[in-house]
Amino acid sequence: FDPLLIESKTAATVVLMLSSPEEEVLAKACDALYKFASKGDENKVTLLGLGAVERLYKLISHEDPIVRRNAIMVFGIMSSNHDVKKLLRELDVTNSLISQLAPEEDIVIHEFATLCLAHMAVEYTTKVQIYEQGGLEPLIRLLGSPDPDVKKNSVECIYLLVQDFQSRAAVRALNVIPPLLELLKSEYSVIQLLALKTLEVISKDGETRIILGENKGLDCLLEILETNEFSDLHVEALAVLGNCLEDVHTLQLIQQTGGLKKLLSFIAVSTFPDIQKNAAKAITKAAYNSENRKILNEEEFEKSLINLLEIDDDGVKVAASQAISAMCENLASKRVFGLQGIPQLVQLLSSDNEEVKEAAVTALANLTAASPSNASAVAEAEGIEPLVNTLNAQRDGAIANAATVLTNLAMQEPFRGSIQSHGIMSALAEPLRSTNSQVQSKAAFAVSAFGCDTDARTELRNAGGLGPLVELLRSKNEEVRRNACWAVTVCASDELTAVELCRLG
**Prediction pTM value:** 0.88
Domains 218-340 and 426-505 agree in fold: yes
SS3 381: coil
State whether the Cα torsion 111-117-118-120 is positive or negative: positive
What is the distance of C-alpha 48 from the center of its chain? 38
Q: pLDDT tens digits for 271-323?
A: 999 999 999 999 999 999 999 999 999 999 999 999 999 999 999 999 999 99
Q: pLDDT tens digits for 127-152?
A: 999 999 999 999 999 999 999 999 99
Q: pLDDT tens digits for 95-112?
A: 999 999 999 999 999 999
- pLDDT of 335 reads 98
For 218-340, give the CATH class. Answer: mainly alpha
Pick the CATH number of 426-505 from 3.40.50.2300, 1.25.10.10, 3.30.420.40, 3.10.180.10: 1.25.10.10
State the burial class of residue 287 (Cβ atoms within 10 Å of its Cβ: 0-12, 13-18, 19+).
Answer: buried
- pLDDT of 496 reads 85
Average model confidence (pLDDT) across the chain: 96
For the chain, what is the largest distance between any 2 Cα atoms, rounded to a whole number of angstroms? 116
Write the CA distances from 492 to 20, 413, 461, 496, integer angstroms. 95, 21, 11, 8
Angle (CA) 177-263-248 rounded to 5° is 60
Instruction: In whole angstroms, give the CA distance from residue 307 to residue 449.
Output: 34
Of 467, 191, 360, the residue nearest 447 (C-alpha): 467
DSSP per residue over 146-191, as a string?
S-HHHHHHHHHHHHHHTTSHHHHHHHHHTT-HHHHHHHTT-S-HHH
Other beta carbons within 10 angstroms of residue 386's beta carbon come to: 21
Instruction: In whole angstroms, give the CA distance from residue 359 to residue 391.
Output: 14
Instruction: In whole angstroms, give the CA distance from residue 317 to residue 112.
Output: 45
State whether the Cα torsion 13-18-21-23 is positive or negative: positive
Q: Which residues, given as ranges, of the chain have pLDDT below 70?
A: 505
- pLDDT of 1 reads 74
Domain residue extents for the chain: 218-340, 354-422, 426-505
